[in-house]
A = this chain, B = another copy of it.
């Protein structure tokens, strides 16, 4: 190997890398292995880095796929849609004559195919409506401009492109339009500009428009068929599952946090805290963006499964907002229990029972609400559970009331509120969480009424939520939206 490399070294082409003094052969021979080693190390380093990066990426991709196999299915669906549309056009002359019509169908499939059915419908609808309105408008302006004479024509066309593009772009800043028609406006500007800029006569344009509508409907049709028939992902159902799943996470994490707070000393040695379970409320804090977009897309979806067409999707957002309100409080609770000041053990044991009971009661209410949403049935036991939770609040209040007196008796003059403070704060936040759980009950009650949940068997006259929450109050929009 030393021979081979010294032979290589003689070549001029390598000199820029080696830079050895010309006079001393000994030095050159000495320096070769170092240089070779370095280059070799550099190369292996690069190869290893690339390989490890690729392995890391592969692992990440694998976990993304195994977390939710529907993502893999979605990839396959898009592939299928594209292959279908390309086969459809493979049977006819492609890019024939003017414009390449296959292109529009392919483009439609690529751009319109979304993960959820709602997304697909939203984009398909936007594309169809925007293309046709912009097309007709542009043909009209083209016709008017052609009547105005040859000199005025380009001026009129350019001015119309300028004005419409500016106005349409500005309209995207209006939230209501942005939420529903953002993509449609892009397509509107695009189609209008293309038609207006083109040098065609009006009769040619009408023919083109017809062809364009035809290809776009083929594209949208293929998209929708594949999207709806092969393992469809409904945005509405996703929202439904997300909200009811988050309720369970919130319940678990409330229970977990309180246990953590009171079991801490016992588990001091095997410190496994913080546990994953009690961090569930963070999911609730972070899911606003997902919920908003899913609710937005769900409104485009037709009835599916147990959901009819005008299912009250926006009420799910109110339930989620009420849940986030609880989660904020739990975040502060988490802060107060990780405070440095430790409460004396006798105070802790005094409050332990009442706190754990209240957290259990509240989390039972949340779990019952979750299963009520999940099954779309009015809850039978929610009234009992709420009564239980309110009793829990009172018990904790009684325990708090009796706390200082006990303590005064024991230590007489040395009563220090500072010692009790973290515990009192935690307890008071726990009570606050229970109060905020009531606004979740209200929001779920409104959802049950709007979505006509199946009434519970022992239902009397009113819904089972209405005795918990006054009927007229729950109709008013709740102020909990942050």
Contacts and interface: CB of A to CB of B under 8 A. Distances in A.
A477 interface: no
Interface stretch (A92-100, A136-144, A257-265): A92-100
Given A64-B173, A170-B72, A429-B332, A82 B286 contact: no
A397 interface: yes
A336 B428 CA distance: 8
Nearest to A436: B335
B421 A415 contact: no
A452 interface: no
Interface stretch (A4-12, A19-27, A105-113, A305-313): A105-113
Given A285-B482, A417-B424, 9 more contacts: A72-B170, A78-B165, A79-B161, A110-B190, A113-B169, A325-B331, A329-B335, A421-B428, A425-B425
B424 A110 contact: no
Contacts of A154: 90
A186 B114 CA distance: 11
A451 interface: no
A75 B106 contact: no
Given A95-B200, A111-B186, A162-B82, A428 B432 contact: no
Interface in A98-127: 98-100, 102-103, 106-107, 110-111, 113
A434 to B, nearest CB: 12
A102 B198 CA distance: 8
A199 interface: yes
A404 interface: yes
Contact of A162 (B83, B336, B420): B83
Given A95-B198, A415-B408, A428-B422, A86 B174 contact: no
A421 B424 contact: yes
B198 A94 contact: yes
Interface of A: 57, 60-61, 64-65, 71-72, 74-76, 78-80, 82-83, 86-87, 89-90, 93-95, 98-100, 102-103, 106-107, 110-111, 113, 154, 157-158, 161-163, 165-171, 173-174, 176, 186, 189-190, 193-194, 196-200, 282, 285-286, 288-289, 325, 328-329, 331-333, 335-336, 339, 397, 400-401, 403-405, 408, 415-418, 420-422, 424-425, 428-429, 432, 435-436, 482
Contacts of A61: 170-171, 174
A432 B200 contact: no
Contacts of A193: 82, 86, 106, 110
Question: How many copies make up the complex?
Answer: 2
Nearest to A88: B197
Contacts of A336: 428-429, 432
A87 to B, nearest CB: 7
Given A332-B432, A425-B425, A482-B286, A78 B190 contact: no
Given A71-B170, A332-B328, A82 B165 contact: yes
B425 A401 contact: no
The 6 A-B pairs at the shortest CB distance, nearest first, are namely: A75-B170, A79-B166, A332-B332, A75-B166, A425-B428, A79-B162
Given A170-B74, A400-B418, A401-B416, A197 B335 contact: no
A190 B99 contact: no
A197 B106 contact: yes
Which of A289, A400, A418 has the most CB atoms of chain B within a 10 A radius of its CB? A418
A161 B79 CA distance: 7
Contacts of A176: 60
Nearest to A174: B64
Given A72-B170, A169-B79, A432-B339, A403 B417 contact: yes
A82 B170 contact: no
A291 to B, nearest CB: 12
Which of A100, A173, A288, A332 has the most CB atoms of chain B within a 10 A radius of its CB? A332
A417 B158 CA distance: 76
Contacts of A200: 95
Given A61-B171, A190-B107, A425-B428, A95 B94 contact: no
B328 A165 contact: no
A174 B286 CA distance: 18
Contacts of A432: 332, 335-336, 339
Which of A64, A74, A169 has the most CB atoms of chain B within a 10 A radius of its CB? A169
